[in-house]
Amino acid sequence: MNRWILVSLLIFVVTADAFPMRQQSSRILHCDVLVVGGGTGGTAAGIQSARLGAKTIIVDSTPWLGGMLTAAGVSATDGDNRLPSGIWQEFREAIWKRYGGPKAVATGWVSNTSFQPYVADSIFKAMAAKEKKLQIVYDYWFVHVIKTGKRVIGAVFTDKKDSLLTVYAKVVIDATELGDVFSNAGAGYDVGMEAKSYTGEPWALDSANDIIQNITWVATLKDYGPNADMTIPRPATYDSAMFFCSCKSKQCPNAEWTAQRMLDYGRLPDNEYMINWPIHGNDYYLNAIDMNHEQREKAYEAAKERTLCFVYYIQHQLGYKNLGLANDEYHTKDKLPFIPYNREGRRVKGIVRFIINDILHPYAKSRTLYRTAISVGDYPIDLHVTGIPNAPKRVFPHIPSFGVPIGCLVPKRVNGLIVADKGISVSNIVNGATRVTTCVMLTGQAAGALAWYCESHNVEPREANIRAIQKVLLDNNAYLLPFIDVPPSDPNFRAIQRIGVTGIIRGVGVPYNGANQTWFYPEWPISQYELVQGLRPYFPELDSYDFASGQRLTTDALLKIFALTGNNIPMSEVRRDWPKFHLKEPFSRSLKLNRRIVAVLVDFYLHPFNRQVNFLGKLKAANVN
């Protein structure tokens, strides 16, 4: 305690010197886990950390929780519609309850789940309010980290009144929109598009650049009735030609979308519209990464102006004078969201970098990151670079759904710090898939679980027990790998997920019309070859097992394989345990085994999930705990 007091006094003196004429008040807080940023990932991280028993503080620069989904106005979820799990599933069910079911929120064609931003904020706040260990501080933005050596131990924040807030924590999570915390902490990071020689991705560039994706200052429009005139004043920079090809018009008759179809892209319940249109709409190129808070606020005005110009075009050129800026959403002076939609910022250099090769070929001989997966995504590679000068045009392959490796959340260079939201360690290409709301929410939940584990076990993130984190996530009904045909409601969900991340029985990835998938095919038959090949890394004694190629696995052969691993399980014992497996047909010699049955039995009797792995997914020695 004396050490904390001395450190607090030292930081107070240093900080006061940094703001000698501005400081009006200062307070100091202590917690187990500090989450910097109450965005989509940060909110999930804070809730999960607190649920597990860690005293957690979230500090956000806005008065809302949810970031992209709320304060930025992107109130339509992207991806994972058929992969609901964890906090994402809880959030979606709360949305359904509020509006009256899934059909009531399938209002726009960009998403199956659309809603008003203030409703999502209220849901996140209600979820957070249930956690007694969670404290939230609004309207403070990040100034700098506090470090001892290479370890982050807290952060300093300020607000519009120049008041200072200092928070000390055992573990800090960077859930900022642009990666401000890990940058300030001295962690290495990447910005922009990398070269092939750097990432090893065939679709990367010959030479790197610093181009990031467009931002969007979203607008939420409300239908005030057919006779209403809600037109806004003409913006100073308005030029209708910027938007001619946003939809069919006299000047652009070959455009793919009609005006109404364009608006229905982001149609929300209760006669509102999310204006987040990338095609000659309100996407805007701005790289604000290296700016401070005040500089960003000034630079963002141009993005707001672009959106107001687009709104003016919709009202005047397209004739929708009845659509006006919603007056009951954000309660800001300009009726626009609190923050822009930042699709890309810094990407930390983690102990693992997730690249497109890992997604396309997760089970290639040299790739084992699937064993470390902690969240899932199914969004295609989608980079918003239209209209950016010198931005290269690239066509990316269709990808299957994927599991995000835990090593993406852990910086190489600093301790005491975990990364959530969009700043995780992925390539620029993969960021196009991992940046979306649902994947970020689930990754944030995993960051919260990792932070809780580190503070409760007094270890650095790079020392965490990966299997323990995965178990926590499974206990919270979260996917590790995106097996679309075995949902959390399936009685064998956890067993199949555990076997999935061992790689003993593997999923099959299917790129499908942008709704990318991975199937476990639980009812498929399984051969002796498939099972033995999967088990060999865990049980080398099976190297001498002799079988005919393609020979179907029988119950007798299965028990023989178990015996060769040192687990002599008589058929009578399996029959005794059978009811707890929730399987349909009784166990007998005539039972036709499938991937589901075998996964459940291997998980229960051989416990391969208990074998520890490192952050690269390599198996540790069998006697390592």
Distances (CA, A) of 495 to 372, 374, 483, 503: 16, 15, 12, 13
Same structural domain, 506 and 476? no
Same structural domain, 175 and 147? yes
Backbone angles phi, psi at 232, to 5 degrees: -95, 160
* 7, part of any domain: no
**Best CA proximity match to 195, nearest among 343, 433, 345, 355:** 355
Contacts of 387 (CB under 8 A, 6+ apart): 214, 283, 285
Q: How far apart are CA 348 and CA 279, in angstroms?
A: 30
**222 close to 326: Cβ distance less than 8 angstroms:** yes
- Look over the chain and give the mean of its residue pLDDT values, rounded to a whole number: 94
* 16, part of any domain: no
- Domain boundary, last residue among 420, 452, 482: 482
Q: How far apart are CA 34 and CA 59, in angstroms?
A: 8
Round to the nearest angstrom and report the end-to-end CA distance of the chain.
32
According to DSSP, residue 539 is labeled -
- Domain boundary, last residue among 270, 290, 325: 325
- Give me the average pLDDT of each 10-residue run along the chain (625 residues): 44 44 77 98 98 98 98 97 96 98 97 98 98 98 97 98 97 98 98 97 96 98 97 97 96 95 98 97 96 96 98 97 97 97 98 97 93 97 92 93 98 97 97 97 98 98 98 98 97 98 96 86 96 96 80 93 95 95 92 97 98 97 62
* 14, part of any domain: no
CATH number of the structural domain spanning residue 373: 3.50.50.60
Given this model, what pLDDT does residue 625 score? 43
Same structural domain, 385 and 371? yes
**509 close to 518: Cβ distance less than 8 angstroms:** yes
* 5, part of any domain: no
Same structural domain, 439 and 542? no
Q: How far apart are CA 217 and CA 339, in angstroms?
A: 7
Domain range enclosing 190: 24-211+345-482
Q: Is residue 416 left, alpha or beta, with left meaning phi > 0 and alpha meaning psi from -120 to 50?
A: left
Backbone angles phi, psi at 526, to 5 degrees: -135, 140
* 526, part of any domain: yes
* 123, part of any domain: yes
Number of other CB atoms surrounding residue 198 within 10 Å: 15
Same structural domain, 416 and 493? no
Query: Long-range pairs for 355-358 at CB < 8 Å and ≥24 separation?
Result: 355/199, 355/200, 355/201, 355/426, 355/427, 355/429, 355/430, 356/201, 356/203, 356/381, 356/396, 356/397, 356/399, 356/427, 356/429, 356/430, 357/200, 357/201, 358/402, 358/405
Backbone angles phi, psi at 496, to 5 degrees: -70, -35
- Domain boundary, last residue among 443, 464, 482: 482
Same structural domain, 458 and 525? no
Instruction: Give the tens place of pLDDT for each residue, 15-66.
Output: 444 444 444 689 999 999 999 999 999 999 999 999 999 999 999 999 999 9
Same structural domain, 381 and 313? no
Same structural domain, 382 and 524? no
Same structural domain, 492 and 405? no
Same structural domain, 190 and 45? yes
Backbone angles phi, psi at 323, to 5 degrees: -95, 115
Instruction: Give the tens place of pLDDT for each residue, 369-417.
Output: 999 999 999 999 999 999 898 899 999 999 999 999 999 999 999 999 9
Domain total for the chain? 3
Same structural domain, 587 and 614? yes
* 128, part of any domain: yes
* 13, part of any domain: no
Instruction: Give the tens place of pLDDT for each residue, 147-200.
Output: 999 999 999 999 999 999 999 999 999 999 999 999 999 999 999 999 999 999
Same structural domain, 428 and 454? yes
According to DSSP, residue 411 is labeled B
